[in-house]
Structure 1
Amino acid sequence: MRSILFTLPFFVLIFSNSIEAQEKILSKEEAIDLVLENNLGIQVARNTKRIDDNNASILNSGYLPTVSANGGGSIDVQNTEGELASGETRRADGAETRRYNASIDVNYTLFDGLNRYYTYKSFKERSQQSELEVRQTIETTILQLFTVYYEVARLTENTKNLEEALQISKDRLTRAQYQFEYGQNTGLDVLNAEVDINTDSINLLNSRQQLRNTMRDLNLVMNQGLDTQFIADTTVVFVPGLQMENMHNEAKTNNIQLQLAEKDISISRYNQKATKSVFLPTIGLTGTYGWNESNNNSPLAFLLQNTSTGYTGTVNLTWNLFDGGSGITNIKNVKIGYENQELIKKQIELEVERDIRNAWDSYTNALYVLEVQEKNLQTNQNNFKRTDERYKLGQITSIEFRQAQLNLLNAELAQSQAKYSAKLAELQMLQISGQLLNVDF
């Protein structure tokens, strides 16, 4: 039984050393760089931005003319018979006529009721909106990154604390064995120490397993190899000087949801103006430069070969006086859509105000909890130090020592949890206020 009890912590120690030897420190800045470069969601958003930029270019505006080249040829074989003025009758069998033509056509819309003007404006707004969507994706991904990154950091600290707890239990077992050998205690203290070692070893193994799983989650966000090992930076620095009023004002101006809603309103406004082009005429210009040639070997033909070149210009006007009412219906529907976008923006404004107030309360509450947990940790550290001294002097039992050890461990875990919870609450508040990408992490 004793050999089994000692095998587990020995395995934990060997496994820990092999893992640590393969790990490297991954700083927050390096993690951000990897996400911005490799994250698949960000890449998709950037590609969507490229598509919208293409749509907003002059080549898709309708302001440029269309140019087309046309060419053709035909062969006509006919049996003909005709009577000349002199009364002579002539007949041509298999008379062949060859015709060739080529032309370049240019079409340009001079005026289309301002439809292309407002459509082009709409494409420009959509391109700017797409840029905001890239920023939104980056913000969301960065917050996701640090949610996982700080979880890795928390589990790293937890693992370290559990390793220290295991070492304390090992030292306690060694002391209990010496005392048992010299008849200073019973074998019960030795057995209790062995049970506590097994408990601490299992807790340590579970913590390491959680750490490895969370590392894989982080590698997935950074689009890295899932088995890449690293050490997270456990340093947490809070942004100084944050104030509720400033956060509220920043949210009204820089919140990404509000900015996207404003772009939706602008796009709807341009669409509404573009639909009114149905009431105005369309004026177009058409130009053609062509070449034609005809060859005829019939003796009855007036001309055996005819060649012509020249150009033609045409101005046309089209005015759809009544389209059955579909244009009017479309204008009404677009107007309703514009009104909906304004209502949606008002709803988002209310939600953002609620979110920033909730985020501020969560942030301040998390800072207070962190302060309390740090004081609690200091108290438990002092208590364990005194308990350890008294245990060495034989003034308290092993059960009392174990309770002080567990109190210290729980205080360490709670302080670590409070620290990272407060930092995540701060990041969430910065995201709502639109300042997430403007601060140091």
Structure 2
Amino acid sequence: MLVNHKEVFMNKKIVKLLPLTFLGVNLYALDLNEAIDIALINNNSYIKQQYIYDEAKANVRKSRAGFLPKVDTSYTYNANKYDLGEGKDNANASAIISYNLFSGLKDYYTLDAAQKNKLASKYTLEASKHDLVYETKVKYINYLKSLKNIETIENAYKLLQNQYKDAQSKFEQGLLAKNDLLQVNAQMLQAKQNLARAKADSKVSWYNLKNILGGELSKDENIKDLNKDTFFIFDYKEDEIFSRSEIKALKNSIEALLSQKNANSYGTSLPSVSLNLAHTKYGEDSSLNSDTLENDEQSTATVNVKWNLFNGGADYAETIILRKKSLQVKEDLEELKLNIKLQYENAVEEYDVSKLNYETAKISLEQSKENYKIVNNRFKEGLSTTTDLINANFLLAQAKQSFDNAFYDRFLAKASLDRILER
């Protein structure tokens, strides 16, 4: 049964906003951890996986039924008319208790297979949770990157607008050639197009984030940026990767298939024994009255022994099928281990590169700011050309984009490692 975490989360959010409501200001911003909580409550794929796990638990309860007695009741009433033939009305009611004494170990292995499948489903659910957390981080960070990209391009566009005004003034004074003015205008229009594209891309990133949150994201929701003072420590060990939930799920799936194979093999090669206890009440009318009957009740105990000696080889074929399926899953398991190891190695490389790029990007951004300041001052003094200032603006925008990407790429690299080692 699923807990209504959504209602709990919304209540916490309301409480969080109460003090701000009295001030008439909504300063609340959704942070990454809260986004993850919303995704775990509302994401449709994750909810579906929870239902699959609930189904696996129900299958275990269903398999346990083979070890419990079964109780059946029946009632029969026959109405005989003399004009249709001789005879009187009669009725009977029975209560039957059936108990499986031995079923060739089929029930035992069927239950064991159901329990293993339940464990496999549990680990698959756990893996789905880690996948969802990782994907939420990626969508959240990509949206933040898109907002920073808009900010960078918008700043570059404003700088070009100011440059165009200065260039236009100089052109009117006869201090600037027309081709220089047209060059600034062309760059300004290009920046305007880039800004429109950046805003469109940001909308797509917003919709991606909204979808993974199960649609629970309003247009006016403020998104909190990541902490700039976050300290990154590499504390990951390669041997931890082989305790992943997906590996545990496949191991239990293999064991479940082996139990199914045993259930088929032993269940068909050994006899089954059952006991039926029945008590029947006879009567001469629908109310089971029996005034003229000498024996109006009967109790019986029946032991049934059944042993199939040959069924055309279907059982043997089914055993082969289940054995081959288990071998297929074993190959999936070995391939998964190789893929996880490769994921880890790639993630470690990305983590190292992201740290190096961030340090380099910080230096590059500071130098680009200083370069633009120098070129802009020289342009005002007539010592630099329009092209020099355009190039300085371009380099500054490029350095800012590289810095923002490097800043967020560290968090993405860490998120990837956290997913691989299920942190």
1:141 paired to 2:127: no
* Inter-partner Cα distance in structure 2 for 1:219 and 1:23: 20
TM-score (norm. length: structure 1): 0.79
- Counterpart in 1 of 2:260? 271
Aligned equivalent of 1:172: 163
- 339 and 138 in structure 1: CA distance in 2 versus 1, 3 angstrom threshold: same
Report the Cα offset of residue 396 of structure 1.
1.5
C-alpha distance in structure 2 between counterparts of 1:338 and 1:165, whole Å: 60
Does the C-alpha gap of structure 1 residues 209 and 334 become closer, same or farther in structure 2, counting only changes over 3 Å? closer
What is the identity percentage for the equivalent residue pairs of Structure 1 and Structure 2?
A: 20
**1:96 deviation in Å?**
4.4
Rounded to whole Å, the distance in 2 between the matches of 1:227 and 1:201 is 27
Greater shift in the superposed pair: 57-66 or 121-130: 57-66
Match of 1:284 in 2: 274
Write the deviation string for residues 29-61 of structure 1: whole angstroms up to 9, x where unpaired: 222122111111111111111111111125754
Q: Which SS does the other structure have where 2:396 is aligned?
A: helix
1:373-392 Cα shifts (integer Å, max 9, x gaps): 22222221222222233333
Q: CA RMSD in A?
A: 2.9
- Are 1:386 and 2:374 an aligned pair? yes
The equivalent of 1:87 in structure 2 is: none
| Structure 1 position 242 matched with structure 2 position 230 | no
In structure 2, what is the Cα distance between the partners aligned to 1:410 and 1:23? 32
Q: 1:191 deviation in Å?
A: 4.3
* Shift in alpha-carbon separation, 1:250–1:61, aligned structure 2, 3 A: farther
Structure (1/2) with the larger strand percentage: 1
C-alpha distance in structure 1 between counterparts of 2:369 and 2:62, whole Å: 69
Counterpart position of 1:415? 403
> Contact 1:156/1:232 (CA < 8 Å) preserved in 2?
no
Letter in 2 for 1:263: N
Residue 204 (structure 1) shift:
1.4
Deviation at 1:305, TM superposition (A): 4.3
8 Å CA contact retained: 2:42, 2:216: no
**Aligned residue pairs: how many?**
392
Whole-Å separation in 2 of the counterparts to 1:23 and 1:205: 28
Aligned counterparts of 1:226 and 1:236: Cα–Cα separation in 2: 22
Once residues 301 and 161 of structure 2 are traced to their aligned partners in structure 1, the CA distance between those partners, rounded to angstroms, is 99
Q: Which moved more, 1:226-235 or 1:52-61?
A: 226-235
Q: 1:69 aligns with which of 57, 73, 91?
A: 73
Question: 1:407: Cα distance to partner?
Answer: 0.3
Change (3 A) 1:352 1:185: closer
Inter-CA distance 66–182: structure 2 relative to 1 (3 Å threshold): same
The 5 A counterparts of 1:32-431 are 32-57=36-61, 61-77=65-81, 96-180=87-171, 184-186=175-177, 189-224=180-215, 228-235=219-226, 240-243=232-235, 246-253=236-243, 255-275=244-264, 276-294=266-284, 304-306=292-294, 308-431=296-419
Quick one: which amino acid aligns to residue 72 of structure 2? S
Verify the 8 A CA contact 2:358 2:407 in the aligned structure 1: yes
CA distance in 1 between partners of 2:269 and 2:105 (Å): 11
Q: 1:407 to 1:325 in 2, by over 3 A?
A: same
Cα 1:394–1:167, aligned 2, differ >3 Å: closer, same or farther?
same
- Which deviations, in whole Å up to 9, do the C-alpha atoms of 1:11-34 show, x marking residues without a partner? xxxxxxxxxx99974321222122
Residue 177 of structure 1: how far off its partner (Å): 4.4
Letter of the 2:361 partner, please give it: Q
Question: Which has the higher Rg, Structure 1 or Structure 2?
Answer: 1
What is the one-letter code of the residue matched to 1:293? Answer: G
Give 2:213's aligned amino acid.
M
In structure 2, the CA distance between the partners of 1:304 and 1:337, relative to structure 1 (3 Å rule), is: same
TM-score (norm 2): 0.83
Q: Which runs of 5+ in 1 are unaligned?
A: 1-20, 80-92, 296-302, 436-441
CA contact (8 A) 1:219 1:228 kept: no
Task: Name the SS of the counterpart of 2:104 in structure 1.
Answer: coil
Residue 56 of structure 1 aligns to a residue whose secondary structure is: helix
- 3-state SS in 2 of match to 1:97: coil
The alpha-carbon deviation at position 324 of structure 1 amounts to 4.0
The 1-side partners of 2:419 and 2:305 are apart by: 54
The residue type paired with residue 395 of structure 1 is L
User: What is the SS of the residue equivalent to 2:379?
Assistant: helix
What amino acid maps onto 2:325 in structure 1?
G
Q: Identify which range, 175-184 or 366-375, moves more after superposition.
A: 175-184
The residue type paired with residue 384 of structure 1 is Y
Further displaced range: 178-187 or 270-279? 178-187
Give the 3 Å change call, closer, same or farther, for CA 139–198 of structure 1 in structure 2: same
CA distance in 1, matches of 2:30, 2:241: 31
User: Aligned pair in 2 of structure 1 residues 214, 61: CA closer, same or farther (>3 Å)?
Assistant: same
Judge conservation of contact 2:63–2:114 (CA < 8 Å) in 1.
no
Q: Whole-Å Cα distance in 2 between the matches of residues 397 and 332 of structure 1?
A: 81
1:77 deviation in Å?
4.3
